[in-house]
Amino acid sequence: MEVLFYIFSAIMIFLGLGVIVSRNPVTSAMCLVGSFLGLAALFIQLDAFFIGIIQILVYAGAVMVLFLFIIMLLDLKAEEKKSMNYMAFAGGLILALVFMVQLSAVLSNFKAGDVGFTPQQAELTLEKDLPGLPETANAKLKEDKLPDVHLVGRTLFTQYNYPLQVVGVLLLVSTVGVVILSKRKLT
């Protein structure tokens, strides 16, 4: 199983670099879809089946179709003629290296990640965070089966309902804005 983690992580890193390096926006979007699929595979490997499937359906499916639709509406000919800015590339590379050094320093000092997480701890955490959790969820916790759909749905629509609505409105406004801007350029 550890080998699969490294394989899917390598796929995600390779395709993530493809998103950044690719000059063609369609190729970049397809690399992003592949990266989303690698992330879904990692979620499924962690037994978070619901989140893995939602990753494929929502991100790799609906959101990327929306991105590709918006990319197709834009005029890509003018973008392809631009030359590469080497100073910006060097600055981005330096920032990426500084980020990697900081991330490795933080992760090397993070000892809480070495501690295991038992279903009993999950039950205590859920009862504290989500009071009134139905008995069926508690029974599934005791059987070592976390009810993914129930917990994600309850958390999403109770604690994170407002941010969810804000993200939906932002996506809608950005899509309408791109369509209006592309129509204005065509006429």
**Which residue, among 37, 16, 19, has the nearest Cα to 28 in the 3D structure?**
19
| pTM of the entire predicted model | 0.54
Measure the CA–CA gap between 65 and 175, rounded to whole angstroms: 12
SS3 82: coil
Reported confidence tier of residue 92, pLDDT bands at 50, 70, 90: confident
Q: Is the pLDDT of residue 181 over 70?
A: yes
| Length of the chain counted residue by residue | 187
pLDDT tens, residue by residue, 99-113: 999 988 888 887 766
- For residue 43, CA distances in Å to 18, 23, 46, 114 come to 22, 30, 5, 19
The answer to whether residues 45 and 1 touch, using CB atoms and an 8 Å cutoff, is yes
Q: Is the pLDDT of residue 152 over 70?
A: yes
Q: Cα 98 to chain center, whole Å?
A: 23
Which residue spans of the chain are classified as CATH 1.20.120.1200? 1-79
> Of 21-25, 29-33, 39-43, which range is least confident?
21-25
Eight-class DSSP state of 172: H
Q: Cα 138 to chain center, whole Å?
A: 29
| Class of 1-79 in CATH | mainly alpha
Q: Is the pLDDT of residue 95 over 90?
A: yes
Reported confidence tier of residue 8, pLDDT bands at 50, 70, 90: very high
Measure the CA–CA gap between 5 and 2, rounded to whole angstroms: 5
